[in-house]
């Protein structure tokens, strides 16, 4: 649930990927890929 919130904020430009907690990055990555926004994943 929290990962979805972060992913939504990233897509809308309200949050930066680098600020996502490490424990959630895997789930956020999966959501962004599913939404076709893997371009927003910045390592």
pTM for the full predicted model = 0.92
Q: Determine phi and psi for 21, rounding to 5 degrees.
A: -60, 140
CB 28 within 8 A of CB 6: yes
Domain boundaries, the chain: 2-40
Q: Where are the alpha helices (DSSP H) in the chain?
A: 2-12, 22-34
CB 19 within 8 A of CB 13: no
How far apart are alpha carbons 28 and 43 in whole angstroms? 13
pLDDT in tens, 1-43: 999 999 999 999 999 999 999 999 999 999 999 999 999 999 7
Exposed/middle/buried for residue 20 (C-beta within 10 Å: 0-12, 13-18, 19+): buried
């Amino acid at each position: 649930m929290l990962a979805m919130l972060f992913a939504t904020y990233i897509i809308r430009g309200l949050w930066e990927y680098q600020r996502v907690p490490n424990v959630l990055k895997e789930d956020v990555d999966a959501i962004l890929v599913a939404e076709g926004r893997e371009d927003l994943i910045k390592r």
